[in-house]
Amino acid sequence: MEQHRVTLQLRAKGSFHTSKSRGQSGLTLVELLVALVISLVIALAAVSSLIVSRRGLTTVDAAAQLGDNARFASALLLRLGAQAGFRDVEYAATPRSNNTVGLAGAGAANPDVSGVNNAYPSATDPYNSSTAWRTSSVGYGSDILILRHQAVETFPGSGRSDMTMIDCSGTPSTTVPVDRDDRMVSVLYVDVSQGEPSLMCSTGPSTAQPIISGVENFQVLYGVAGVTPNTAPTATPVAPNVADRYLRADQMVVAGNTAATNANWSRVRSLRIGMVLRGAEGSTQQKEAQTFYPLGLAKASVTGTAGSAMSSARDDPGTIFTSPADTRLRQAVTFTIQLRNKEGL
């Protein structure tokens, strides 16, 4: 009887032990490794998605900034272009009796609209001295645009400016003109001294300041009425107020004849402006070179090359702009400005 009890107890204990062992079964090492790999894949996918989203937001921000810069540049240049050639009522009412008198001598009247092709101005004499761009320079092919206009006297004899006319820095004139050739001057060009190529504004020696950062290319063509390249004007144009062709700044120059050159500048009726603006490094996810046409992609004819619709685009440095292969977002901006520029004022 005693042996039978012992046997039952041993069997009971053995049964309890077997049941407990089955309850402790868990994951094997292989299963743990598989779970770890799956977790890593999910984490990497989440991080990659976050990085792509962040880069996308950076590109969107850069595109918005480029759009703002483009709008600001076009608005500023449109306003300066509308002001170019403006004379206060006292001088506008009495045109010059002879438009060529004194143009080549001391105190000569510089044209209201002028410029230099493929150059940047001297810091000490931005109106009359410039240096040509080197081929390898950032900003190569960019042009200089010079615009002049008078301030407005509040009323004749008041001696006070109404401060409605501004220069390229946005500064209004606080003084009134003393004669018909006393004008405000704005010089616009590209400079790389700011660490980033920028559209610069100069209103005199040592006054240059950046107004728009990231401008790699600045192109200007001049819509003229009755001007033959590098030739003194002769007969009055058939349509004197309508541009019949677009020329580069160097095509307006008549060698050795300042009066004829200024007469050509007085026949500029519109400006064709082209720019290429760039964003910060890493503002786009693609790293590749791009080709831009600042003055437009249109062809001169069916067989013409892209960007050749303007008469000078075929041989004008910068009118076909190829960017380096980097991660900067870029935008081309093109627009035309109608001028008040007039002969004989």
At 10 the pLDDT is 43
pLDDT band, residue 150 (cuts 50/70/90) = very high
Render pLDDT for 19-71 as a digit per residue (tens, 0 to 9).
Answer: 445 555 677 888 888 888 888 888 888 877 777 666 666 778 888 999 999 99
Higher model confidence: residue 136 or residue 188?
188
Strand partners, 144: 116
User: CA-CA distance, 267 to 257, in Å (whole number)?
Assistant: 16
Q: E strands within the chain?
A: 113-116, 119-121, 130-132, 144-149, 184-191, 198-202, 209-213, 215-224, 245-247, 268-278, 291-292, 321-322, 330-338
pLDDT band, residue 343 (cuts 50/70/90) = low
- In the chain, the amino acid numbered 113 is V
Residue where the block lists tokens 């008469």: 311
Higher model confidence: residue 187 or residue 89?
187
Q: How far is residue 106 CA from its own chain's centroid?
A: 36
Render pLDDT for 193-248 as a digit per residue (tens, 0 to 9).
Answer: 878 999 999 998 888 999 999 999 999 999 999 999 999 998 888 888 889 899 99
At 196 the pLDDT is 92
Render pLDDT for 237-269 as a digit per residue (tens, 0 to 9).
Answer: 888 888 989 999 999 999 999 999 999 999 999
Q: How far is residue 26 CA from its own chain's centroid?
A: 67
Of 149, 319, 168, nearest in space to 249 by CA = 319
Q: Taking 50 as the threshold, does the pLDDT of residue 120 lie above it? A: yes
Q: Which 8-state DSSP code applies to residue 236?
A: P
- Contact 310/243 with Cβ under 8 angstroms? no
At 106 the pLDDT is 32
At 118 the pLDDT is 95
Helices (H), 162-293: 258-265
Q: Percent of the chain beyond pLDDT 70?
A: 82
Q: What is the mean pLDDT of residues 63-82?
A: 94
Strand order in the sheet with 198-202: 113-116, 144-149, 184-191, 198-202, 209-213
